[in-house]
A and B are shown apart, each in its own frame.
Chain A
Amino acid sequence: DTVLTQSPALAVSPGERVTISCRASESVSTLMHWYQQKPGQQPTLLIYLASNLESGVPARFSGSGSGTDFTLTIDPVEADDTATYYCQQSWNDPRTFGGGTKLELK
C-alpha cells in the first residue's frame, strides 16, 4: 500500500501562513486530495488533483505538488481553520489516507 506521511500537529497564529506536507512512499502522480475535518463532523474536500480548489472553498486554501511530495497551504490562517487535515491518494490501489495533521491556533 502507498503510505502517506504527514506531520502530526502544527500550531500557528491567526493571520500567518501555514504549509501542511504530505509525503508518499511512491509516486501518486497528481492524484492527491486534501480534506478538512473538524471535531464531530465529517471530512470535507478542500483540494483535488493536487492543486484544484473545490467549489465553495475559500481561496485562502491552495495545494501543490506532484510525484511524492505535496503541500496544502492556508494563507492567511483564520481561527475557524482549527481542524485536522488529511491527504488521500487515488493513483495506487487501495486508496490510502495520511495520518492527519492537527492544526491548532495560538
Chain B
Amino acid sequence: EVQLQESGPGLVKPSQSLSLTCSVTGYSITSNYWGWIRKFPGNKMEWMGYISYSGSTSYNPSLKSRISITRDTSKNQFFLQLNSVTTEDTATYYCARSEAMMVLPFDYWGQGVMVTVSS
C-alpha cells in the first residue's frame, strides 16, 4: 500500500525558508508524480507543484520564484523548500501522488503537517 508521511518544523520565522520532507513507502518515487498541496486556515487549498518520475518539476506560477521541489531516490523521499516565507504561508502542507499529473487526481495523500509562520 502506498503511504506518504510529511515531516518538518511546525514553526518557521518570517523571511526564513520552510523545508519539508515527504517519505514514501510502498511505491517508488521513480514512477508517477509527487506533489505538494497546502490548505490555509479557512479551508482554501492550493496546489504548489510536483516532481515527476524523471525528476522534472512544475510549479504554481504564484510561487515560482520561491519554491523548489527536489528528491532523494535512494531514500524514496521528496522535499519542499519555500523561501522568504510570510505569515501568509501558514497552512497545513500535504504531499500526495498522482498517476498522471496532467489528467488524474491525487489518489494518495499524507496526513499533513501544520506549519505556522510567526516570529
**Chain A residues packing against B (C-beta within 8 Å):** 31, 33, 35, 41-45, 48-49, 54, 84, 86, 88, 90, 93-97, 99-100
Q: Is the CB of A42 within 8 A of B105?
A: no
Q: Is the CB of B43 within 8 A of A45?
A: no
- Select one of B44, B47, B94 contacting A42, CB under 8 A: B94
| Secondary structure class of chain A's binding surface, majority of residues | loop
- Among B93-113, those with CB < 8 Å from A are 94, 101-107, 109-112
With A42-B112, A84-B43, A96-B47 in contact, do A31 and B103 touch (Cβ < 8 Å)?
yes
CA of A3 to CA of B106, assembled, Å: 19
A-B contact count (CB 8 A): 50
Q: Is the CB of B47 within 8 A of A97?
A: yes
Shortest A53–chain B CB gap in Å is 13
- Select one of A44, A90, A97 contacting B45, CB under 8 A: A97
| Chain A residues closer than 8 Å to B61, beta-carbon distance | 94
Q: Is the CB of B109 within 8 A of A43?
A: yes
Q: Is the CB of B44 within 8 A of A88?
A: no
CA of A48 to CA of B105, assembled, Å: 7
Q: Is the CB of B94 within 8 A of A95?
A: no
| Chain B residues closer than 8 Å to A41, beta-carbon distance | 111
CA of A86 to CA of B47, assembled, Å: 13
